Copies of this chain bind each other. A is one copy, B any other.
Amino acid sequence: MYTTKILAIGNELLIGDTVNTNASWIGQFLSERGFRITGSAVIRDDADTIRQEIRESMNSNDLTVVTGGLGPTHDDVTKHAVAELFGVGYEVDEAVLKHVAEIFSRRGFELSELNRAQAAVPAGSKALFNKMGTAPGIWLEQDGHYLALLPGVPYEMKWIFEHSLSEQLATSFRWVQPSVTRYYRTAGVPESFLSERMVGDLQEYLREGTEIAYLPAPGEVTLRATVFGENREEIDRRLNRLESFLDERIGAVIYARTRDERLEDVLVRLLQERGHTVSTAESCTGGLLSDTLTNVPGSSAVVLGGVVAYANEVKENVLGVRAETLAKYGAVSRQVALEMVAGVVKLTGSDVAVSTTGVAGPGGGSPEKPVGTVWIGFSVEGRLFAVNPVFSKDRRLNKTLTVQVALETLRRELTGYKDRLPYQLKRWEG
């Protein structure tokens, strides 16, 4: 397996003015092609440090990729640091010079000395054509170790990677160890519960070199499995064996098997497949549930809309929640959640509906109903039920978790997976 390290040059990345999205893009590009990423670093605009880091990386990696510091101004020092490191001068690349001259003449400028210098590359290196800008990428080799220098501007870097550099990689690295990564997205089960009590021991798979990671996010955990192998058949065989194991253990809580699909995407698709419309009656989530559903392109086919009933008067006047119910049980109660969801169904005529009412915080808690107490009501083709999770002390997190649990509960209801509610919640029939 070939190894690679990714270096990014630039003080703006260190002080947080710019997020280093280049490193993750390159990491994904190369790991999908079977490179093992041994590390990634951000380096100051300082020639000594750049030389030292490139030297160290080239000593222990097959490929070193460097982004940034190739521009024309005083703080762009990468090319010079590399020329010095290799002990060489510069050669003008005529193709690059022609390209740079064309760009400037289109803009009605004369070429300056600074612009001309863009076409100079360290002697013995190869310029990687950059259609999107004036600074070419640069490709060098020493004793079987390769070095690629690329501009830091993301769209220039990506263009060179996908065109000029991609070709070069195929030439220089004749064999790349195949690997395949699969994703299993789960919701409604905390990471520790999922790994200890549901998935259990993975030693057998880890021993044979499969990389498995638990990636947590609010209300969700994604399992990522990567298998490196001799050939595609061997990889598929090992991945399928792992997948059968996971299916048996946690199949019912896996809501998606791609990296980017979200719970709301799955739910909108499910509703559409069943010909169901949906509406919402939100108190504590304040519109986030409806916002989340309508982030899905094409959601207008199933989402009718709903009511944000923040004040009790709106719960009464728009949703028809009874004043007695509010007085007797309080706004954060099973009874109010159920009347809210029944009210929005009456108002919109939707097949499916969800209501939320809770103490989002930071204020408003009481001993019986501490901050984080939430009731979520559901109406699915006339069947009413509610669940009662208790979340955190953070307002925004409580809103997010309420939406996650609402979506996952509904997904399980629609797919018939009723026995295990998210977070071991109890189901209160309405």
Which residues of A does B touch, CB under 8 Å? 6, 11-21, 23-29, 31, 37-45, 49, 71-75, 103, 106-109, 112-115, 131-132, 153, 155, 181, 190-193, 195-197, 202, 206, 211-218, 224, 226, 259, 277, 279-280, 282-283, 285-295, 297-300, 303-311, 313-314, 317-318, 347-349, 360-364, 370, 372, 389-397, 399, 423-424
The chain B residue sitting closest to A46, CB to CB, is B38
> Could you list some 30 contacts between A and B, CB below 8 A?
A6-B14, A11-B37, A13-B27, A16-B25, A16-B27, A16-B28, A20-B20, A39-B41, A45-B213, A71-B216, A106-B372, A106-B390, A108-B424, A112-B197, A131-B393, A155-B397, A287-B294, A287-B306, A288-B291, A290-B308, A291-B399, A294-B360, A295-B396, A298-B363, A303-B311, A305-B310, A305-B318, A313-B348, A314-B348, A318-B318
**Is there an interface contact between B20 and A132, defined as CB atoms closer than 8 Å?**
no
**Is there an interface contact between A12 and B195, defined as CB atoms closer than 8 Å?**
no
Q: How far is the CB of A303 from chain B (nearest CB, A)?
A: 5
Q: What are the residues of chain B within 8 A of A15 when measuring CB–CB?
A: 27-28, 31, 37, 181, 226
Report if A112-B192 is in contact (Cβ < 8 Å); known contacts: A259-B17, A314-B305, A390-B107. Answer: yes
> Main SS of the interface on chain A?
mixed
**Is there an interface contact between A394 and B41, defined as CB atoms closer than 8 Å?**
no
**Is there an interface contact between A300 and B308, defined as CB atoms closer than 8 Å?**
no
The chain B residue sitting closest to A45, CB to CB, is B213
Q: Which of B103, B108, B286 contacts A423 (CB 8 A)?
A: B108
The chain B residue sitting closest to A43, CB to CB, is B39
Q: What are the residues of chain B within 8 A of A43 when measuring CB–CB?
A: 39
Q: How far is the CB of A53 from chain B (nearest CB, A)?
A: 8
In the complex, the count of this chain's copies comes to 2
The distance in angstroms between the C-alpha atoms of A349 and B75, with both chains bound, is: 48
The distance in angstroms between the C-alpha atoms of A24 and B72, with both chains bound, is: 25
**Is there an interface contact between B16 and A19, defined as CB atoms closer than 8 Å?**
no
The chain B residue sitting closest to A107, CB to CB, is B423
Q: What are the residues of chain B within 8 A of A347 when measuring CB–CB?
A: 314, 317-318
Residue among A314, A362, A372 with max Cβ neighbours from chain B (10 Å):
A314
Residue among A73, A181, A214, A372 with max Cβ neighbours from chain B (10 Å):
A73
Q: How far is the CB of A57 from chain B (nearest CB, A)?
A: 11
**Is there an interface contact between B16 and A29, defined as CB atoms closer than 8 Å?**
yes
Q: Which of B153, B195, B396 contacts A72 (CB 8 A)?
A: B195
The distance in angstroms between the C-alpha atoms of A282 and B298, with both chains bound, is: 17
Q: How far is the CB of A251 from chain B (nearest CB, A)?
A: 20
The distance in angstroms between the C-alpha atoms of A362 and B131, with both chains bound, is: 13
Q: What are the residues of chain B within 8 A of A196 when measuring CB–CB?
A: 112-114
Report if A41-B40 is in contact (Cβ < 8 Å); known contacts: A20-B23, A211-B11, A290-B287. Answer: yes
Q: Which of B75, B349, B424 contacts A212 (CB 8 A)?
A: B75
Q: Which of B24, B277, B423 contacts A13 (CB 8 A)?
A: B24
Q: What are the residues of chain B within 8 A of A214 when measuring CB–CB?
A: 71, 73, 75
The distance in angstroms between the C-alpha atoms of A11 and B215, with both chains bound, is: 10
Q: What are the residues of chain B within 8 A of A293 when measuring CB–CB?
A: 286
**Is there an interface contact between B295 and A12, defined as CB atoms closer than 8 Å?**
no
Q: Which of B13, B217, B310 contacts A300 (CB 8 A)?
A: B310
Q: What are the residues of chain B within 8 A of A74 when measuring CB–CB?
A: 195, 202, 206
The distance in angstroms between the C-alpha atoms of A190 and B349, with both chains bound, is: 43
**Is there an interface contact between B308 and A363, defined as CB atoms closer than 8 Å?**
no
**Is there an interface contact between B20 and A16, defined as CB atoms closer than 8 Å?**
no
Residue among A107, A113, A226, A391 with max Cβ neighbours from chain B (10 Å):
A107
The distance in angstroms between the C-alpha atoms of A159 and B42, with both chains bound, is: 24
Q: What are the residues of chain B within 8 A of A289 when measuring CB–CB?
A: 287
